[in-house]
Amino acid sequence: MNLADLETPRLVLDADRMEANVARLKGRLASLGVRLRPHVKTCKSIEVARGLVESPAGPITVSTLKEAEQFLEHGVTDILYAVGIAPGKLDHVTDLRRRGADLAVVVDSVEAAKAVAERDAGIPALIEIDCDGHRAGVKPGHPVLLDIAKALARGAKPRGVMTHAGDSYNCRSPEAIADMAEQERGAVVRSAALLRSAGYACPVVSVGSTPTATFARSLEGVTEVRAGVFVFHDLVMAGLGVCRVDDIAVSVLATVIGHQREKGWIVTDGGWMALSRDRGTARQAVDQGYGLVCDEAGRVIGDLVVSDANQEHGIVSRRSGGELDLARYPVGTRLRILPNHACATAAQHDAYHVVRSGTEVVDRWPRFGGW
């Protein structure tokens, strides 16, 4: 099958680019002496995940218990659920562990720790550290860490500390990202030292974001890195200098369905239901609209972007707003749109159409969504 045979819109995965992305980050982490615990929230696909993990059993990171469920069914057992646990989900956690998952949870309060411990089931738990004020977690080295660990020890199993430098996405240079990576590392290493000094085991010291994993100067004291979007990359990562545009492995295949000649618009069947509403590049130096436009073979076309999107319609125009030769893009022309945020775009689709070296579709890999 060829891309020209597919009904659009469809999600396309360039396997050669994906494999190169994976090899690049794995090699970097190996040189820094830490293991990768890939975050599979980006791919939500066992076929993709098999190229990421150390062994059939894992390790992996998940963002939903549905992800844990799906990957456990494929034999992946070493799983970190890296979102603060809601007490109402502990029945599900217990069931997954009973079925063979070494599933660890995350807490950042005494209340959550008590809820996990009250199960008296030895559930492994990591304490989340807030390394950058971006999201959840305990301030690095704060005394409440010891209260949380004490609460966990009454019926759960303290396993260590984890953090996520989400603010790295707001950095403006590789140097700033490297500084953020050091801030991230220092936050968990300092917190782990406090726990150990109080007699609590802290075998896992976990950090994670694709930008900081790419530019970290040192990961001394860290045991694992969680990263996810590196497998595909996207325009936000390219805008941060984490990757090149030519490294982006996923795109949405769309078809030209009309024109608005007086406006210089190409209209496609790839609207925000296919691309997502993510506008992550709007705050970067180069605003890529709803996505950067390529030809059917995946080659970027000048400064064409999806400048606007409705539910099932994408509006393609020049980023500069200049005149566009619409005759070059007759109705029926196939275009590929590179995403701002690979996780959000992939989430709109139920499968990857896998290509290698061009437009021939060599496989179809299912993916799942929801909670």
pLDDT per position as a tens digit, 165-188? 999 999 999 999 999 999 999 999
| The predicted structure's pLDDT at residue 124 | 98
In the chain, which residues fall in CATH 2.40.37.20?
A: 3-11+243-366
Average pLDDT, integer, range 119-131:
97
Rounded Cα distance between 111 and 118, Å, is: 11
At residue 351, the pLDDT reads: 98
Assign domain 3-11+243-366 to its CATH superfamily: D-serine dehydratase-like domain (2.40.37.20)
> Does 47 score more than 90 pLDDT?
yes
- Give the per-residue pLDDT at 321: 87
For position 82, what pLDDT does the model report?
98
Nearest Cα to Cα of residue 228 among 205, 249, 204, 245: 249
Mean of pLDDT values over 186-209? 97
Determine what percent of the chain is predicted with pLDDT higher than 90. Answer: 97
Domain 39-227 has CATH 3.20.20.10: yes
- H or E element: which one contains 145? helix 144-152
For the chain, the average pLDDT equals 97
| 236-241: average pLDDT | 98
pLDDT digit string (tens) for 278-291?
A: 999 999 999 999 99
Which pairs count as long-range contacts for 148-153, CB under 8 Å and 24+ apart, including other chains?
A: 148/107, 148/108, 148/109, 148/110, 148/113, 149/113, 149/195, 149/198, 149/200, 151/110, 151/113, 151/114, 151/117, 152/107, 152/113, 152/116, 152/117, 152/125, 152/127, 153/117, 153/200
End-to-end CA distance of the chain: 32
**What per-residue confidence (pLDDT) applies to 152?**
98
Confidence of residue 322 (pLDDT cuts 50, 70, 90): confident
Average pLDDT over residues 111-123: 97
Element (H, E) at 192: helix 174-197
- 320 has a pLDDT exceeding 90: no
The values of phi and psi at residue 112, to 5°, are -65, -40
252: part of which helix (H) or strand (E)? Answer: strand 250-260
Residue 71 pLDDT exceeds 90: yes
Average confidence (pLDDT) over 117-122: 96
| φ, ψ for residue 19, nearest 5 deg | -65, -35
Q: Where in the chain is the domain with CATH 3.20.20.10?
A: 39-227
261-266 average pLDDT score = 95
